Structure 1
């Protein structure tokens, strides 16, 4: 019960942050903050449609390997993420603005539990995955939002090549 209350509180806090961000950006504040966020970075992918797998390692050196990833617009990628450290780490896909806002919320509520399709949180030695379709060309950031990790440089980026440029 306590876990569910924490999770619901976390979702409410994240929804409020996303809605506030959408309102500040001049978008409608219809309570669909995550929809706007996902539209900017892509959408959850279907595992059966993944065209390739990218292994990502997270370490207590506060780094992702690789930290720079290149994909094509429209591509569905399966990220197999491994925490090879002793601390809890996570990989969260988002815009730089969204990641910073979420990180500030995490610093205030370090035990906040959350689970969204654009993220995976892993205990030491564990592995997990994210399946994501990159629908827009540009840059999609990712980071570990555990308190202190983002500030220590635990971040990276996915460069999404334009569909027409990628075909050349």
Structure 2
């Protein structure tokens, strides 16, 4: 019990520091010059996203409106499984004091993974165009412990 409580306290304390460190907040725009084909409203609660899975057509430009109804800060990151894992690794290194340059293309694996940070009670917008290929894409919150608690979902590219 004592160990569980300590882990919970550390997670809460580190969440605020990590989520704000270099992550964009407010309105992040990717492919903003393209017209929006679809708008998807997302809810980020305490360790979950709703909806939990998406079907999106390749090449479709989607505007994500993410509202954090929980008590913890979250991020919303889109990328393939390898890029998400690399980002989680970087976030764990930040938690242990390793630091990371999150500016200009150094987010995730350097491929410019679209992402926003969303404070409790706040909303953020992200515009993203789905790739034409049939790669496996997921959305996630990679703040330490959040992905492992269920804050992820698949984006199924169907055309």
For the criterion TM > 0.5, the same-fold answer is yes
Pick closer, same or farther for the CA change 1:58–1:114 going to 2, 3 Å: farther
Asked whether the 8 Å contact 2:60–2:130 carries over to 1, the reply is yes
* Alignment length (residue pairs): 122
Q: Does 1:45 align with 2:41?
A: no
Long gaps (5+) in structure 2: 1-20, 24-28, 104-111
Long gaps (5+) in structure 1: 1-5, 11-42, 163-168
What CA distance in whole angstroms lies between the structure 2 residues aligned with 1:56 and 1:47? 22
Question: Deviation string for 1:34-54 (max 9, x for gaps)?
Answer: xxxxxxxxx932265011100
Q: Secondary structure at the match of 1:135?
A: coil
What CA distance in whole angstroms lies between the structure 1 residues aligned with 2:124 and 2:89? 24
- Aligned counterparts, 1:25-44, within 5 A: 44=30
The root-mean-square deviation of aligned C-alpha atoms, in Å, is: 2.5
What CA distance in whole angstroms lies between the structure 2 residues aligned with 1:78 and 1:130? 6
What CA distance in whole angstroms lies between the structure 1 residues aligned with 2:34 and 2:61? 9
Q: Secondary structure at the match of 1:109?
A: helix
Which residue in the other structure is 1:146 paired with? 143
Question: Deviation string for 1:35-79 (max 9, x for gaps)?
Answer: xxxxxxxx932265011100011111x111001111111110000
Determine which structure has greater relative contact order: mean sequence separation of CA pairs < 8 Å that are 6+ residues apart, divided by chain length: 2
Q: Secondary structure at the match of 1:158?
A: strand
TM-score computed with the length of structure 2 as normaliser = 0.68
What CA distance in whole angstroms lies between the structure 1 residues aligned with 2:119 and 2:63? 20
What CA distance in whole angstroms lies between the structure 2 residues aligned with 1:112 and 1:56? 28
Asked whether the 8 Å contact 1:83–1:123 carries over to 2, the reply is yes
More helix, by proportion: 1
Which residue in the other structure is 1:63 paired with? 48
